[in-house]
Amino acid sequence: TLGQAGRFFHFGLTSSDILDTATALQLRQAGFLLLKDLNALQKVIREKAWQYRHLPMIGRTHGIHAEPITLGFKLAGWYFEVKRNISRLKNAIAEISVGKLSGAVGTYSNIPPEVEQYACECLQLKPESFSTQIIPRDRHAVFLSVLGLIAASAERVALQIRLLQQTELAELAEPFQKGQKGSSAMPHKRNPVLTERICGLARVIKKNVAVSLDNIALWHERDISHSSAERLIFPESTILLDYILTLLTSILEKLEVFPEHLERNLQHTRGLIFSQAVLSRLIEKGLSRVTAYEIVQRYAFQTVKEKSDFLTVLKNAPEIKEILPATELEECFQSRKFLRHLDQLFLLLEKEKD
C-alpha cells in the first residue's frame, strides 16, 4: 500500500523493535501524567499538614492508644512518602525511556546501530545497551513496581481515613455529598466508600506488579508470554493509578475533621497515655527500669480496672509519693510537652513551600 517506499518499510527490523519502542513512549507519557497527579496530591497534603500542625490527637500503635501526636504530624508523614514516590517515579520513567531497533535477536544483523541511535534521538529515548529480540523486561518490572508502591501509599492513606471514620473514633470523615446514600437499608449510615474503593483498586495494581516480575523470565532471546499480559497490566495499572491519585486528592481537599472527637479520644484512657513520662521520671529519680516499669504498669492496670484517673491513682501510690512530688508528677501529664519538638520537624515542611 506504500508503493515504492514499501520496500524499505520495516527493513531490517522485527515487530518488537517497533512495539517495544512505542511502548516506551506510551509508558513515559503515562509516567508524566502520573507525576502531575502526585504533585497535585503532594500540594494538598502539605497544606492540610500545615493547617493541622498544632491540632492534638492520640497516636496509636497496634490499634491501641500510645502517646499524643498532632493531625498535622500524621499528614506530614504522608507528604514525605509522596515526595519519595515522586523521586521513584522520575527514576522509573528514566528506566523505561529506552528504544530498540536492533533486529531479530538484537545483534544488528540487518540494520546498523546508527539507525537505532538516530531514531532514538528523534524520539528522545536512550538506545537499549544490550537487547535481545525485545527490551529486557526488568525495566518494565521496575516501572510497574513503582506504580505498585505508589498505589500502596495511596492505600495506606485511604485506610487511615477509613479507620479514623469508624463510629467509635469519628475523628475524620471523607466527603459526603448532598443526597448521597450511605446504605440502601440503613439511612443513618455514612460509609467510607471512596477510601474503600481506593483500597480495593490498589490491590489490582499490586497484583499486576507480580505479573511484571513474571514477565522478566522468557525463553532464550524471547517468547511472547509477556506480551498478552502487558496488554492488560500496562493500561490497567496506569489508568487505575491516575484515578486513585485524583480521587485521593479530592478526598483530602474536602476532608472533614472533628476536633471535639480528637480531644475526647485523647482523654479516653484518663491519663494512661502519659505512662512513659512517669516511667522516665522515676528512672531519673534513681529507680531501676525494671522496678519503675513494674510500679507504673501495676497502677496503670489498676486505673483501667477501677475506671479511675491515672494521675489521681499515682498521687495516692505510696511507692511514688516517696520519691516524686505531686508537682513533678503533674508535669508528666502535660500533652504539650510531648509535642515540644514538633515545631522543629515542621520546619522541614516549611522548607517544602516552594
User: b/e per residue, 53-83, with b = 16+ CB within 10 A?
Assistant: bebbbbeeeeeebebbbbbbbbbbbbbbbbb
| 190 CA to centre of own chain | 25
| 177 to 81, 172, 173, 256: CA distances (angstroms) | 29, 16, 12, 12
CB atoms within 10 A of CB 279: 19
Cell of 228: 498478552
CB of 156 closer than 8 Å to CB of 243: no
Residue 40 sits at the vertex; the CA angle it makes with 141 and 95, to the nearest 5 degrees, is 25
- The CA-to-CA distance between both ends of the chain, in Å, stands at 55
Taking alpha carbons only, the member of 50, 40, 27 closest to residue 82 is 40
Cell of 78: 504522608
CB atoms within 10 A of CB 285: 13
Taking alpha carbons only, the member of 111, 158, 134 closest to residue 224 is 134
| 141 to 11, 115, 194: CA distances (angstroms) | 30, 27, 29
CB of 205 closer than 8 Å to CB of 148: yes
CB of 159 closer than 8 Å to CB of 195: yes
Task: Tell me if residue 62 is catalytic.
Answer: yes
Annotated catalytic residue within 87, 183, 225, 288: 183
Task: Tell me if residue 131 is catalytic.
Answer: no
Annotated catalytic residue within 62, 188, 220, 341: 62
What lies within 8 Å, CB to CB, of 245 at 6+ separation is 34, 37, 38, 40, 41, 150, 154
Query: How far apart, in whole angstroms, are the C-alpha atoms of residue 253 and residue 240?
Result: 20
Q: Which residues are catalytic?
A: 62, 183
